[in-house]
Structure 1
Amino acid sequence: MITGFPRKVEARFGNGKLNSVWIPTAKAEEDRIRQKLKEAYGQHIVITDEFEVFNDWKVLLRKDKPEVLLLNETLIPVYKGFLLKGD
């Protein structure tokens, strides 16, 4: 288990379908979770001050508000546009 133990999650739906899951974590866990994400998905593909992106944009480590975010295919372009706007 990447986050270390069972947690509550926030599931978000759009158009009647699950489109994202937020898993709250803690800042003190960031390094451990990052290592677990790297073990599971390889090196991050994008890194910003707020996020590290893994698994072809399906898994994000949020650093400004400690969370892990899981995205479906519908939201991937939204997050790419938001995070890559400076590129």
Structure 2
Amino acid sequence: MIGVLFGIIVSCVFFVVQNSRRRNIQACYPGSATMSTVRRPAAYRAYIHEVSKQTHIIQLQGFLFFGTIVRVEEKLRSIAEDPDWRTNPLQFIVVDFF
């Protein structure tokens, strides 16, 4: 019984160590780098163009758990602490899980 419990604990530790080394952030770019593919009236497109300057997109891959969320948190913190934040604050951060 002790051997089975020890094996379960060791395998859990091994899983955390091995999967925490993976990079979950696939891409990170400003909203102005991509536009919607939906056809919209000119007024809507103008509004989306203005809002895209205040948007940042982070694409994640894989699965998140306490071992991998640290890098995502550091990236979000670096975006919020960017010197441009005071002059051009972000209103939206889109986190895309795919």
Q: TM-score, normalised by structure 2?
A: 0.27
- Higher RCO structure, 1 or 2 (CA under 8 Å, sep 6+): 2
Q: TM-score, normalised by structure 1?
A: 0.29
Q: Which structure shows the higher helix fraction?
A: 2
Q: Who wins on radius of gyration, i.e. which is larger?
A: 2
